[in-house]
Structure 1
Amino acid sequence: MGLLDLTGAQTVFWAATRSLADLGLPGYTLHTASLQGGPVRTAEGLVVQTVRLDDLARGPMHTLIVPGSPHIRQALVDSSPLVEWLRKASSLASRTTSVCSGAFFLARAGLLDGLRAATHWAMADQFERLFPRVELDREAIFVEQDPLWTSAGVSAGIDLSLALVEADNGREVAMQVARRMVVYYRRPDNQEQWSPLLQSQYGTQ
Structure 2
Amino acid sequence: MTTSHDTPQATPGKPRSVIFVAYPQMGLLDMSGAQTVFWAATRRLADLGLPGYTLHTASLRGGPIRTAEGLTVQTIRLGDLTLEPMHTLIVPGSPYIRQALVDSSPLVEWLHKAYSRVERSTSVCSGAFFLARAGLLDGLRVATHWAMADQFERLFPQVELDREAIFVEQGPVWTSAGVSAGIDLSLALVEADHGREVAMQVARRLVVYYRRPDNQAQWNPLLQSQYSTQ
TM-score by length of 1: 0.98
Query: Which residue matches 1:185?
Result: 210
Partner of 1:42: 67
Residue of 155, 169, 180 corresponding to 1:130: 155
Distance 1:177 1:58, change over 3 A: closer
**Residue range with higher mean Cα deviation, 159-168 or 194-203:** 194-203
Pairs aligned (count): 205
Q: 2:83, 2:192 → 1: CA distance? A: 25
Query: Residue type matched to 1:179 in 2?
Result: R
2: CA distance, partners of 1:109 / 1:177: 32
Tell me which residue corresponds to 2:177.
152
Letter paired with 1:136: L
1:10-159 equivalences under 5 Å are: 10-56=35-81, 59-159=84-184
* Residue 58 to residue 24, structure 1, CA distance change in 2 (3 Å): closer
Q: For the residues of structure 2 that align with 1:80 and 1:182, how far apart are their CA atoms?
A: 38
Question: SS where residue 56 of structure 2 aligns?
Answer: coil
The code of the aligned residue for 1:33 comes to A
- Provide the rounded CA distance (Å) in 1 between the counterparts of 2:168 and 2:128: 11
User: 1:126-176 CA deviation, whole Å, 9 max, x = no partner?
Assistant: 000000000000010000001000000000000000000000000000000
Distance 1:58 1:168, change over 3 A: closer
2:160 is the alignment partner of 1:174: no
Deviates more, 1:39-48 or 1:77-86: 77-86
Query: Where in structure 1 do 4 or more consecutive aligned residues deviate above 3 Å?
Result: none
User: Is 85-94 or 97-106 further displaced after alignment?
Assistant: 85-94
Structure 2: gaps (5+ residues): 1-25
Deviations 1:48-76 (A, max 9, x none): 00011111266310100000100001101
Determine the C-alpha separation between the residues in 1 that align with 2:149 and 2:61.
29
Measure, in 2, the Cα distance between the counterparts of 1:173 and 1:194: 28
* Offset, 1:203: 3.8
Q: Distance in 1 between matches of 2:81 and 2:147?
A: 32
* TM-score under structure 2 length normalisation: 0.87
Q: Distance in 2 between matches of 1:55 and 1:135?
A: 34
Cα distance in 2, alignment partners of residues 48 and 86 from structure 1: 20
- CA–CA separation in structure 2 for the residues paired with 1:70 and 1:57: 31
**Larger deviation, residues 157-166 vs 55-64:** 55-64
* C-alpha deviation, 1:77, in angstroms: 1.0
Identity %: 87
**Conserved 8 A contact 1:57-1:89:** no
For residues 37 and 68 of structure 2, what CA distance do their matches in structure 1 show? 21
- Note the alpha carbon deviations across 1:21-46, whole angstroms, 9 max, x for none: 01000110000011110000110011
